Each structure stands twice: as C-alpha cells, then as structure tokens.
Amino acid sequence: MTRAIVFAAALAAQLIVAVVASAQSGSGHHHPAEASAGAEAKSVTVKLLDLELLDQDGKRVRFKSDVVRDRLVVVNVIYTTCPVVCPILSSVFANLQEPLGERLGKEVVLVSISVDPLNDIPPRLKEYAKRFNARPGWVFLTGSKGNVDEMLRGLNMYAADFSEHTTSMLVGDGREGRWRRLYDVPPPDRVLAELGELTVARGGEARPASHDAVDHGGHRR
C-alpha cells in the first residue's frame, strides 16, 4: 500500500469519526442549506463576481476574468488549520489531477477558496498546496475578508463562522453558465462524471477517465 493510499485511507477514517462526533454534539462542519438538500447533486444559480483576490503566489487576480474565464471549474472552500474535513476535500482535488491530465489549467481549473482570509495569507496557502502536491491549474485563493466574503455569498458558499463552512463542491462551466452543486464531499469519480457531462453539453466529447479515477480511499478504479 503506497503512502498516498495510506494517507487517503487515514483521512477517510478521520472523516467518519468527525461526522459521528458532529452528529452527537451538534457541531462541526455543517451548512444549514445542506441539511435538507437530500439530493446528491442539483443545478444551481450562482453569481460570479469579478473581485480582486490573491492566489497562493501572492499574485493579484480577478475571480471571473482571470481564474474562471471560459473554463470548466470545480470549487471548494477550505482553511489551512482545518483538522479533518478540509484535508479530505483537498485530497479529492489532489486525486483529480492525474485523470484530468493536460486538461488541468487549460480546459479545467480547480479552485480552493480560503474561508479564513485573515490568517490564510498567500505563503500559508502555498505551503498548504505543497502538502497535496498541487499542480498548475489548481488555484488557491485568499484576499481581503470583504472581497472573499462577498464572492462566497455569490457562490452560496458563505458561512458566518468559517469553521462551519460547507463541504459541498461547485462544478460549473464558466462559458455556458451551467452550475451543479455536489453535496457531502463527493468522491473524485463523481466530480469527473459531472465534468464529463458539462463537456458534452458544450459540444465536446467526454474524456474517458475510468482507468485513472480514484475513490475516497485512494484506490484506482
């Protein structure tokens, strides 16, 4: 068993413990809008605001015109001191990189937005990105709290208490404006399936990823 598989399996085990503890205590990562969502995924309307942010290299970028552009996008929210759930969310993104291959950064962009911008300055995000072997095309964003909060509201991913942030992901098409929300830490193959559907919807051909997709435990399918 490789180190990557051990790492992912350990994270999955931690998530199970955290979910049980959360259910018992009434606390933990939880978003009110998700409690009654029921569906694994649903179409949503979002507002892409072209606000100025900072990426993990400290570069000033505009969310809509520089980061999203006309590409397919997967968005999650994290913070670097998050003990359990954020590493799980980030491991999903890490395991999307290989099956996406050369599409990553060109046709598809992965976006992790810090919900703790006051503490998650670019060097801290860059160090976090290294932990997950983030490749070009996986962008980590922070910035002024005002801009980050406003942008998250537009995406319906804002939480007043950042430690209670959503565990859902957004998968969308920056050109066509189609967006889907995937609930409850979707596995990589579920995200890849959504990207495939969006590719077909915009007139392209879905790329087979069955040989490269991985599950939550890090095992190849």
The domains of the chain are located at 3-201
pLDDT tens-place string over residues 100-130: 999 999 999 999 999 999 999 999 999 999 9
pLDDT tens-place string over residues 10-31: 444 444 434 333 333 333 454 4
Strand residue runs (E) in the chain: 41-43, 52-55, 60-62, 72-78, 108-114, 138-142, 169-173, 179-182
Q: Around Cβ 220, how many Cβ atoms within 10 Å?
A: 13
Task: Answer with the residue of higher pLDDT: 23 or 188.
Answer: 188
Listed in sequence order, the residues at least 6 apart from 43 whose beta carbon sits closer than 8 Å to its beta carbon are 178, 179, 180
Q: What is the CA radius of gyration of the chain?
A: 16
pLDDT of residue 206: 67
Range with the poorest average pLDDT among 49-63, 139-153, 192-206 = 192-206
pLDDT above 70 covers a percentage of the chain that reads 75
Distance, CA of 55 to CA of 189 (rounded, Å): 27
Residue 42 has pLDDT above 70, yes or no: yes
CATH number 3.40.190.10 is the correct assignment for the domain at 3-201:
no
